[in-house]
Structure 1
């Protein structure tokens, strides 16, 4: 399953992908199945945020590029909307995890995945990255990771998620991202010009990827919405992968 996951992620990052024919890739399209999957396969306890409505959206392909079939992106769902409709939050459909054995086999490093994904999203949003090997890529234009991303370690991630680090960033040109789901794309264009990304990491555990979308009013309270994520994700220390 993890090998298939990596192939799938690379397909999203580096090539067009059509999800229209995909059904129940890893679990049924329902919140209890997602919650059970995170707990059983990754030792991650998921608690939906109060005062948010479940939009019942799963396996939604999202791109950080205004050209949706190019650039970096991933698969999300479940997706929630605040009752005041100023914030929309989506969780990645499958946490990223590569075992030590698979790191060697695939030539990937688990703890570097989130940095690569974040860099790809930012460069895609800036119009610098269009896909692996694409001749339009502007490889000569540098983007400094720390100019865009704040890394929080220590007490804060531990208290919020029982995690080691939080990587948080405001996606540039966020009004030009794209949902392949027509209904989500329509409301995004109408109401949500801002997007904040979060990657939650813990040593030798799966990484969670969360995106928060804001209206102009919601963006002014961005920090409050981030704080609402407190214990919505929690790494179970008793979990041991077989």
Structure 2
């Protein structure tokens, strides 16, 4: 019996070109580190630390794993480095909204599901702090909606496509995988959840957009991608849920 619906965020609840966003984001972020890193060293560290976060084995939070590797070989303490990231996220991250395109009726879909008494989870890859996840939800038109769980860098110890990420969600919301439906646009990062016993819905709203960056990172985990149970536009998820409840 369906008890919880998990939603990816990027190119599932909001649309954007991943590589364009990352290029703009990382170039702006570098301005917070110009006094201690060259551009090449910064971008190398950013990608290396992100990959190490994706490979996190559960011993540390994703945030701690990221900054642990970012700080390698530097004289600046990791706490001070993380404060630079935090300042950037709190003062400048919101300006990237212009790169985002909302999906029509996203808010209605979420509210409809909540009315059915189902738990709702924002199962976005937990590589950003909680504050940033809330900003991004606002871009999707989901501001002031309460979710049972929003995965973030501070409260999760695994990333997609690691199956332990999905099991960690189940543990935190106290539901079995077979009672959950994962909704997302990416076979490598989202539909992989079916290997835990979850049902999956592959959204097609972002078919015209590139998400090769996240796919390349995920493919390094050598996970085979299964077929989704369902497929269609985000708006079509309500009809599927009617079949499962």
What TM-score do you get using the length of structure 1 for normalisation? 0.28
Return the structure number with greater helix share: 2
Structure showing greater Rg: 2
Higher strand residue share: 1
TM-score (norm 2): 0.28
